[in-house]
């Protein structure tokens, strides 16, 4: 893999596909970047476990990577899962993570990753997809307002977890 002309990356060079076993190193590099963005440091075991779960056909946690087809570089990822809900007969999909490496942003990569999740959700017969974001993440919301609608919900979490 090289970093050839990343600044000239164009929309037609973006490929999104499901994560494969050979992607672990490339995914891990982005996963570390993402933790920096989120201001967290996760134990290595978390990354190893999640990556194994993406590949496990019995686990409803999936990962997809975006690539620059010209350089072969992995430039973004999404992770998503499906769960039961008391509000639907079918399960719903929760998009857990979305990340595009800095140099590849605002070129349509994030949108293609969301569209990949939508397509897979449709194929699974669970077309309802939702996610949460920080209220101050205005950059992400520039994309989200184009592909989704904003709900009135506020997220609470049990203290200490
Ligand atoms: C949020 C994030 C995934 C978006 O990915 P991206 O590849 O930059 O987004 P895209 O280029 O696909 O889409 C951006 C859309 O918003 C618009 N947009 C993005 N930045 C913009 C800006 N500065 N001004 C105006 N519009 C902007 C684009 O016009 C585009 O709309 P379009 O598809 O109709 O043309 C990326 O910025 C990122 O990884 N950020 C850091 C991590 C993060 O915040 N993750 C989300 C956590 S919830």
Mean pLDDT of 13-21: 97
Domain of residue 15: give its range: 11-147
Question: Atom 26 in ligand 1: which residue has the minimum CA distance?
Answer: 142
With 0-12 / 13-18 / 19 or more C-beta atoms within 10 angstroms meaning exposed / middle / buried, residue 141 is middle
Mean pLDDT of 103-123: 98
- From 9-18, 20-29, 33-42, 124-133, the region with the lowest mean pLDDT: 9-18
User: Domain tally for the chain?
Assistant: 1
How big is the CA angle at 43 (ends 38 and 47), to the nearest 5 degrees? Answer: 80
Q: What is the pLDDT of residue 2?
A: 46
In this prediction, residue 114 has a pLDDT band, given cuts at 50, 70 and 90, of very high
Q: Which of 139, 145, 146 to mutate to test the pocket of ligand 1 (most atoms within 8 A of CB)?
A: 139
Residue 25 in any domain: the answer is yes
In the predicted structure, residue 99 carries a pLDDT above the cut 70: yes
Residue 24 in any domain: the answer is yes
Q: Which of ligand 1's atoms lies nearest the C-alpha of 133?
A: 48
Residue 118 in any domain: the answer is yes
CB-based contacts of 24: which residues, under 8 Å, 6+ apart?
Answer: 51
Residue 142 in any domain: the answer is yes
Q: Which of ligand 1's atoms lies nearest the C-alpha of 104?
A: 7
Residue 161 in any domain: the answer is no
In this prediction, residue 7 has a pLDDT band, given cuts at 50, 70 and 90, of low
Residue 105 in any domain: the answer is yes
- From 7-16, 85-94, 95-104, the region with the lowest mean pLDDT: 7-16
CATH number assigned to the domain comprising residue 103: 3.40.630.30
Of the candidates 104, 40, 36, the one whose C-alpha atom is nearest the C-alpha of residue 66 is: 104
* Residue 50 Cα distances to 19, 46, 59, 77, angstroms: 11, 6, 10, 13
Q: At 35, list the tokens.
A: 């933790």
Residue 66 in any domain: the answer is yes
Please list every protein residue whose CB sits less than 6 Å from any atom of ligand 1. 37, 98-100, 105-111, 133, 137, 139-140, 142-143, 146
């Amino acid at each position: 893999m090289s970093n050839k002309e990343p600044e000239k990356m164009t929309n037609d060079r973006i490929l999104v596909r499901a994560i494969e076993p050979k992607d672990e190193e490339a995914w891990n590099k982005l996963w570390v970047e993402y933790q920096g963005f989120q201001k967290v440091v996760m134990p290595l075991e978390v990354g190893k476990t999640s990556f194994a779960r993406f590949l496990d056909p019995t686990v409803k946690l999936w990962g997809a990577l975006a690539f620059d087809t010209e350089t072969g570089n992995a430039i973004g990822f999404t992770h998503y899962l499906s769960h039961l809900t008391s509000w639907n007969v079918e399960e719903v999909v929760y998009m857990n993570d979305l990340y595009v490496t800095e140099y590849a942003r605002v070129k349509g990569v994030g949108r293609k990753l969301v569209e990949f999740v939508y397509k897979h959700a449709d194929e699974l017969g669970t077309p309802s997809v939702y996610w949460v974001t920080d209220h101050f993440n205005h950059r992400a919301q520039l994309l989200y307002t184009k592909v989704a609608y904003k709900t009135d919900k506020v997220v609470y979490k049990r203290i200490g977890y």
